[in-house]
Amino acid sequence: MNAPAPSDLPVVVIGAGPIGLAAAAHLVEQGIEPLVLETGPQAAAAVREWSHVRLFSTWGEVVDPVAEKLLAPTGWVRPDAATYPSGGDWVNDYLQPLADALGAKVRTGATVTGVSRSGRDRIVDADREAQPFVVHVRYADAREERLFARAVIDASGTWTTPSPAGGSGLPALGERAAADRITYRVPDLQDPAVRARYAGKRTAVIGSGASAFTALAYLADLAKADDGADTKGLWVLRRGISGSTFGGGEADQLPARGALGLAAKAAVDDGHADAVTGFRTEAVERDTDGRLVLIAEDGRRLDPVDEIIVLTGFRPDLSFLSEIRLDLDERLEAPVELAPLIDPNQHSCGTVYPHGHRELSHPERDVYLVGMKSYGRAPTFLAMTGYEQVRSVVAALAGDTEAADRVELTLPETGVCGGAGLFDTPDAEQDAAGGCCAPVPALIQIGTPATAERGESPSAGCC
């Protein structure tokens, strides 16, 4: 079967999350046919899994302007721009209506298993760019299909590939065996079954970004409830604690993001959680009572816990792109031109320069990684960044280079410089971003008399 001419084909968008749906809306506006392939049973499947978590961006910052224009004829009413949606609100009041407006252009239960050039594997140069992309799809009913596309926009995100507890970036010894007691998501403590799992228990939270802040705050709220007596958190950090550990606070231009860090600090200050610093997990063992013991690379063993919440960031799944010629940074797994702009080893103030199709381009023409996936293992991604990415990328696909090169985004400051703790990402990367030397291992109860007696300070281990 001969492949059709690329000009007659749709642009395949992988993922029907916020950025993928926005990409489809931009393609429609440009008169280009999109085909969105979503592996989940519904659009925004990943967001639905954290529907209980409130965003730190307002409605005014999480609605794409072009998507809003597409929704207008349907009678859609934009929520109050100054209020903060939960993940569930975002789905119900924007993402699902947007998917409905796109109609048959969105296919759910469609998992992309491979992308290549038609008749050309990764090695072949001859006549490569003249060939359309071929996209292999497996549907929920096990049916398989081969689709052709003029371009591919991968907005599949990183939600399905969380980073492990192990300090080396690999799973800790025993981590897989203890999977029944470990979660890699912020738990929904309003769900009775989930609440019972953590109520009255001692839970280790590994990580130091916004997700870890949220989990600590949730556990503190549970400890204050009638059914949560004896609930205790143990915050495990790979670095030391500094003045920036808890984020930008009141200086953050996204106030709700700053408030997350303050809530985590309050959880520790109020005695609902202890903080263990300089701890890089090497192994997870079960004691004789079946509880879990975290063991560090230096041999330290923490007191047993009942549950572990691992919130050390995410990483991209690149397996289905193995036949595509990508140019990725060797550390971040982000596009090589974008990586210097987002590298936490160099950027410690949480600011990222606006960027578009040029920074997102690869040797394989007309294939783009956008959204969270474009950041690889790097932190601080905002929906606004993704909307600007797809605006630029789609303009480039439409041949409007002037619009594609134009910057139409101003990002808010985090209010923190030199602060490793402001990133919702693997802590190993945060160590490099912050202004701390190798931290002194310590168990710290911030703001308690015990801390003062030991002569410790919140900045122990930092230069």
Could you tell me if residue 410 is inside a domain?
A: no
Could you tell me if residue 164 is inside a domain?
A: no
Query: Could you tell me if 326 and 396 lie in one domain?
Result: yes
Could you tell me if residue 233 is inside a domain?
A: yes
Could you tell me if residue 172 is inside a domain?
A: no
For 127-137, how does the pLDDT look when each residue is reduced to its tens digit (9 = 90+)?
999 999 999 99
> Total domain count for the chain?
2
Residue 58 has pLDDT above 80, yes or no: yes
Query: Could you tell me if 50 and 129 lie in one domain?
Result: yes
Q: How confident is the model at residue 352, as a pLDDT?
A: 66
Query: Could you tell me if 20 and 128 lie in one domain?
Result: yes
Query: Could you tell me if 281 and 324 lie in one domain?
Result: no
Query: Could you tell me if 148 and 218 lie in one domain?
Result: no
Q: How confident is the model at residue 121, as a pLDDT?
A: 94
Query: Which of 192-201, 257-266, 328-337, 454-463 is least confident?
Result: 454-463
- The more confidently predicted of residues 234 and 350 is 234
Query: Could you tell me if 268 and 354 lie in one domain?
Result: no
Query: Could you tell me if 24 and 147 lie in one domain?
Result: yes
Query: Could you tell me if 303 and 346 lie in one domain?
Result: no
Q: How confident is the model at residue 170, as a pLDDT?
A: 97
Residue 283 is part of which domain span?
Answer: 179-313+424-454
Query: Could you tell me if 57 and 142 lie in one domain?
Result: yes
Cα 344 to Cα 111, 341, 387, 418, 427: the distances in Å are 32, 9, 22, 10, 11
Residues 329-340 have a mean pLDDT of: 95
Query: Could you tell me if 99 and 61 lie in one domain?
Result: yes
pLDDT band at 260 (very low <50, low <70, confident <90, very high): confident
Could you tell me if residue 32 is inside a domain?
A: yes
For 439-456, how does the pLDDT look when each residue is reduced to its tens digit (9 = 90+)?
444 444 433 333 333 233
Question: Residue 87's domain is classified under what CATH number?
Answer: 3.50.50.60
Could you tell me if residue 276 is inside a domain?
A: yes
Query: Could you tell me if 293 and 438 lie in one domain?
Result: yes
Query: Could you tell me if 290 and 373 lie in one domain?
Result: no
Could you tell me if residue 318 is inside a domain?
A: yes
Could you tell me if residue 60 is inside a domain?
A: yes
Q: How confident is the model at residue 459, as a pLDDT?
A: 28
